[in-house]
Each structure stands twice: as structure tokens, then as C-alpha cells.
Chain A
């Protein structure tokens, strides 16, 4: 058994699909947010795999930038969740339906 790039790619695709399923099935804002983090991580894994496969360091730099953006996104997103929770005492996204006509 020799490790090839497709093993990592299959794992990344599977993790991404699980993240999509998590966003679709869960109604807790926090768990949906964690699923988004999982999707970002799986994309990072493909970046680093391709970087290894092609011998280019740029893939790892791209993964670095994705991590920075994800960190910024987590701070703002969690602040919004806490702000919403303080006004409605619930983290259920179905209750935020004021814009519904």
C-alpha cells in the first residue's frame, strides 16, 4: 500500500460532505457554525495535498490564509450568536424569522 494524493482527496471530500449535511440537518447555530469550520478544514487539506503533489509551497500559504480568514470569521460569528442569544435566549436559527413576509 503506497499513500497517494487521492486518499487525502477522498478523505477531504467525505469531510466536506459531512459538513454540508451538518449545516442542512442541525438547527443549533453553534453546531451549524462548527460544520462550516469542518468544511473550511477539509478544503485546507486539499490545498496542502496538492501542494505536496505538485511540489509547490503556495498551497500551504493558501491554507495559512484560509486559517486566518476562518479565525476572523469565528470571532465575528460567535459574537453575533452571543448577541442574538442575549436578545432571544435561544440559539435555534428557526426562531430568527422576522424578515419572513
Chain B
């Protein structure tokens, strides 16, 4: 009962944050809306007994990723004029139709699977502690884990290359 109330409250916060994210003209408000959604999803993870994933969600998404977003918004400034830009005719209505249609399609297509599985919900005792997740991560999925290490290194190198060579081109253009 208590869990259902917590779910309803934070589901409402998540939906409000997501809608304000795509509705706000100022990108800073969009970032704050997304932040509310990310925190609500962390609460959902706690409800699902995934405590480690919830902590990671707050640290990585609400902490690192959103800080990075806010930094970039600060760097490139806020221009409200092109919030929606030029649009094809009836773009908003078409977007609404596509989004609602997609939601209905997912709900219809997957609904049967959810209903059949719902009896099992919580029947199997599962606790997403660091120990349990790490046993799986560093056991079965060790190779995959090592490839994500490689991926992160390459991404960091790529970011440095983009910043470095981007500045180079600018200098060349200035001297021409």
C-alpha cells in the first residue's frame, strides 16, 4: 500500500519533469525537468529493490551527466528564439499523434506479457546489493565489462581530439 502511494507520487513527478523538459523554452528549465525525472526513476529503482542501481543513477545521471549538460548550456548560452525553430506544417499535432500512437502500440503489444508475468512480481527474492551485482558483473560479464572500459577510454580520447582539432581549424580560419 505504502509502496503504491510512493510509486504514484514519483510517477507523477517523473511525468511532470519529462513534459516540462520538452515544453520549456529555456534549456536550463529543460535540464531541471530532466533532473526531477532522473531522481524519480532512482526512487523507482529503490521500490524495485535495485539499491545499487539507484545509487549509480543518482551519482552518474543526476550528478555527472546533468552537471555536464548544465556546463554546456552555460558555455553555448541560452537562445530561446530557436526553441522550436521552423517547423513543417502541423508538426506539433503530428508529433502528438506519433507519441500517443507509440505509447498505445507498446501498451497493446506488450500488455499481455505483463499481465501473465505479474503474479511472479516480488515472488522471487532478489536484492540488488553491490555484492550481488558485482558477483554477476565480474563473473559472467567480465569480458563485456572490460570492453566498456575500452569504450570509455576511446570516448575520452575522442572528446579530447574534438576539442583540440576543433580549436586548430578555428586558428587556421582566423589567419586566412
Contacts and interface: CB of A to CB of B under 8 A. Distances in A.
Interface of A: 1-11, 13-22, 24-28, 30-31, 33-35, 37-38, 41-42, 44-45, 48-49, 51-58, 60-61, 63-65, 67-76, 78-83, 85-87, 90-94
Given A55-B124, A69-B151, A61 B136 contact: yes
Nearest to A56: B126
The 9 closest A-B pairs by CB, nearest first: A55-B124, A27-B85, A22-B22, A72-B155, A21-B99, A6-B114, A17-B103, A92-B82, A1-B4
Nearest to B47: A3
Contacts of B34: 34, 37-38
Interface of B: 1, 3-4, 7, 11, 14-15, 18-19, 21-22, 27, 30-31, 34, 37-38, 41, 44-45, 47-50, 52-53, 56-57, 60-61, 64-65, 68-69, 72-73, 75-76, 79, 82-87, 91-92, 94-96, 98-100, 102-103, 106-107, 110-111, 114-115, 117-118, 120-126, 128, 132-133, 135-137, 141, 144, 148, 151-152, 154-156, 158-159, 162-163, 166, 169-170
Contacts of A15: 14-15, 18, 37
B147 to A, nearest CB: 9
Given A45-B44, A74-B68, A31 B21 contact: yes
A48 B123 contact: no
Contact of A68 (B22, B30, B151): B151
B27 A30 contact: yes
A17 B97 CA distance: 10
A21 B114 CA distance: 25
Contacts of B3: 3
A4 to B, nearest CB: 4
A58 B79 contact: no
Give the dominant DSSP class at B's interface. helix
Given A15-B14, A70-B65, A76-B162, A91 B79 contact: yes
